[in-house]
Structure 1
Amino acid sequence: MQGIQNFPRPIVLVSKCLEFENVRYNGQLIHSQVVRDLEPMVDFIKVCPEVGIGLGVPREPIRIVKEDDNYRLVQPKTGRDVTTEMDDFTDNFMDRLDDVDGFIFKSGSPTIGIRNIKVYSGTSMAPVVERGAGFFAKKIIARYAGHPMEEDDRLRNYRIRNHFLTQLYTFADFRCVKRSLSQKELEVFNRKNYFLFSFYDDSVYGKMCELLEQVSTRGLEKTVEAYETLLKDLMQKPGDLESGVVVARKIVSPFNESMPSGEKQFFENLLRNYIEKRIDEDALQEVLRLLVLHYDAENVKNYTFLYPYPDILRMPCDGKRDKDYWSDH
């Protein structure tokens, strides 16, 4: 199925310690399945902020300290304060950063973690007073708000990974549309993502369609900017089970009259099983793919809801599927 769609090649900023270099404070390399899976398919921009400011490998750990509403990045064992160095490195790095579609950060890192990072009240023997983003990541989040961003640990979860990859490939595709600055390309992008965007947020998608009707008065460049803002808003969170059912019915609706009665009944039973959580979205998606290939194959490019990213990136199913549970051993 991968060959059905021509996917763009995303540009992804990634923590250098994930699969690439032994740059962790303890000299370790962190293994990440999603990074391994993506490596042949994307262009990675690798960064380790701590090495970037001259801290060695291995090195003493650093932490975020909050004192009198000021946040500092310090190395408790040495007493070294690297706040200014990190701020300068981050600013310079972002100023040199060209196009980027998404970000994969290292969970737990005081520099490049994006959530739940410990903030202490002092350099040693001090309690955690709050949690937030790392020093480097916080500025990235501010500049690239709305872009696909995740941490390695969370990307082990099927739903989080699926959402991230869907975002990533959609943003990569939109980057190409922005570069073309073509009204036709923008309209094609909007049309082919009809089902996907309706699944994410039908009301926001309606606003995106309204924008395209105002190009002559708003101007193409401003329309593209406004459209991108709505795209970021729309893709922050995937649709729920009910949205999935609505979109499934929308997909089947144009060729419903052509379906034999037995096929219609099968589809209704499938939706019922999906609603009652007896099957997952993958099973529903595969049947929808088959129906589209049968009834509307020439327009398969307009079904990004069913083909949001290359199939080779789909998360492996149960690793114990082939285990012999009936063996005597």
Structure 2
Amino acid sequence: MEPFPRPVVVVSACLEFEKVRYDGQVIPCAIVRELEPYVDYITVCPEVAIGLGIPRDPIRIVKMGDEKRLIQPKTHEDITDKMNRFTTGFISSLPAVDGFIFKSKSPTIGLRGIKIYAGVERSPAIERASGFFAEQIIHAYPGFPMEEDDRLRNETIRHSFLVQLFCFADFRRTAAERSLAALETFHEKNHFLFATYSPVVLAELYEVLSRSAGMTIDAALAAYFAVLTKLFRLHQTPESRIQAVQQLFARYAGLLRSEERTFFANVIAEYRQNKICFPCLLELLTSYALRFDDAFTVNQRLIEPYPKELMATVDPKRDRDFWKAEPPQAEREQDE
């Protein structure tokens, strides 16, 4: 399998990098730390960038009529225009990027669930939305992988984010070649990964490829990427994963003994019953590909959608000694 490209990721500066949080702290973030050897980061703290100090008094989003304003309650300063000017300039200055990791609960950079208040002081939250800076990022980069530090602790969300992040970086690398042949190669190695998201949208990607010969390369890449972002708005399901694995397994079924085919069917059933994890299926499938020297399957991004070093640990407590505090055998017998 070819080496992975290095995604370009915009990240909140307070996550692992700088002491720029409102209280002067830096926030530990495992995934930001773990990703560092594999990505190129662009850090940003909108509040510091517009001149707010460290530490600083909190700010909040206030609904005034039909308009949202960014206010610092202690000083009553309205920093809306400053923030909008900075955000517009920041977006226009960005190079090609592949994804975003932002600090949750921030009134500027939080992606979701940010409280919108009815007034500057001692007023209730009346709705929730994205932060001021984050909202403009969402509009400028629709469909791009964006997550918050808190949510990335969830293994399913983390996996989904990493799959899309490295796929987008790979597409950017492919687009730089400005070649329909490169686009077709990208599509081929991602076919079964994309099938786990939506066979219907996968067919739309094929439709773009079928029309690409009559298009300029820029038009073909833009059309393909538009459908790709549509694909990643959907999510993998256990059944869609099973179908993709079964289609790849069909390449080897006729070469295996009946006992091996039965064993594979039983492993599928165990996954369907949530007894084993999906990587177990992929490992078994890879063993067949290696056995029959099948580079097609080995090179499928379904098998390894991002560097294996970034896979979440299966059991974080596996090496913990749960018996260390047990009383000696003699004491247990005496108690009985």
What residue in structure 1 maps to residue 66 of structure 2? Answer: 69
Q: Of the candidates 224, 230, 234, which is equivalent to residue 237 of structure 1?
A: 234
What residue in structure 2 maps to residue 298 of structure 1? Answer: 295
What residue in structure 2 maps to residue 115 of structure 1? Answer: 112
What residue in structure 2 maps to residue 277 of structure 1? Answer: 274
Between stretches 30-39 and 298-307, larger displacement belongs to 298-307
Indicate yes or no: 2:210 matched with 1:178: no
Displacement of 1:296 after TM fit?
Answer: 4.1
Distance of 2:236 and 2:295 partners within structure 1: 27
**Secondary structure in 1 matching 2:196:** helix
The residue type paired with residue 257 of structure 2 is: P
Q: Of the candidates 80, 89, 92, which is equivalent to residue 92 of structure 1?
A: 89
Displacement of 1:235 after TM fit?
Answer: 1.2
Alignment of 1:199-218 (within 5 A): 199-218=196-215
Runs of 4+ in structure 1 off by over 6 angstroms are none
Q: Is the 8 A contact 2:10 2:42 kept in 1?
A: yes
- Residue ranges of structure 1 left out of the alignment (5+ in a row): none
- CA deviations 1:237-285 (Å, max 9, x no partner) are 3221110110110110111101122211111000101111111212222
Percent of aligned positions with the same letter in both sequences? Answer: 46
The residue type paired with residue 196 of structure 2 is: F
Distance of 1:114 and 1:96 partners within structure 2: 21
- Residue ranges of structure 2 left out of the alignment (5+ in a row): 328-336
Alignment of 1:20-59 (within 5 A): 20-59=17-56
**Secondary structure in 1 matching 2:197:** helix
Q: Of the candidates 178, 189, 192, which is equivalent to residue 192 of structure 1?
A: 189
What residue in structure 1 maps to residue 330 of structure 2? Answer: none
- CA deviations 1:116-159 (Å, max 9, x no partner) are 11111111111111101000000000010001110000000101
Distance of 2:146 and 2:234 partners within structure 1: 12
Q: Is the 8 A contact 2:11 2:41 kept in 1?
A: yes
Between stretches 272-281 and 137-146, larger displacement belongs to 272-281
Distance of 2:293 and 2:302 partners within structure 1: 15
Q: Is the 8 A contact 1:191 1:302 kept in 2?
A: no
What residue in structure 1 maps to residue 164 of structure 2? Answer: 167
Q: Which has the higher contact order (CA 8 A, sep 6+)?
A: 1
Distance of 2:281 and 2:84 partners within structure 1: 47
Indicate yes or no: 2:123 matched with 1:126: yes
Displacement of 1:301 after TM fit?
Answer: 5.2
**Secondary structure in 1 matching 2:128:** strand
Displacement of 1:6 after TM fit?
Answer: 1.1
What residue in structure 1 maps to residue 331 of structure 2? Answer: none
What residue in structure 2 maps to residue 6 of structure 1? Answer: 3
Indicate yes or no: 2:239 matched with 1:261: no
Structure 1 vs Structure 2 CA RMSD = 1.2
**CA spacing shift, 1:265–1:301, aligned 2, 3 Å:** closer
Displacement of 1:202 after TM fit?
Answer: 1.0
Q: Is the 8 A contact 2:70 2:79 kept in 1?
A: yes
Displacement of 1:233 after TM fit?
Answer: 0.4
Distance of 1:169 and 1:292 partners within structure 2: 23
Q: Is the 8 A contact 2:113 2:128 kept in 1?
A: yes
- CA deviations 1:287-322 (Å, max 9, x no partner) are 222222223442345310110000011112222111
Q: Is the 8 A contact 1:194 1:302 kept in 2?
A: no
Distance of 2:131 and 2:293 partners within structure 1: 48
What residue in structure 2 maps to residue 250 of structure 1? Answer: 247
TM-score by length of 2: 0.94
* Matched residues, number: 326
Distance of 1:213 and 1:70 partners within structure 2: 46
Between stretches 257-266 and 51-60, larger displacement belongs to 257-266
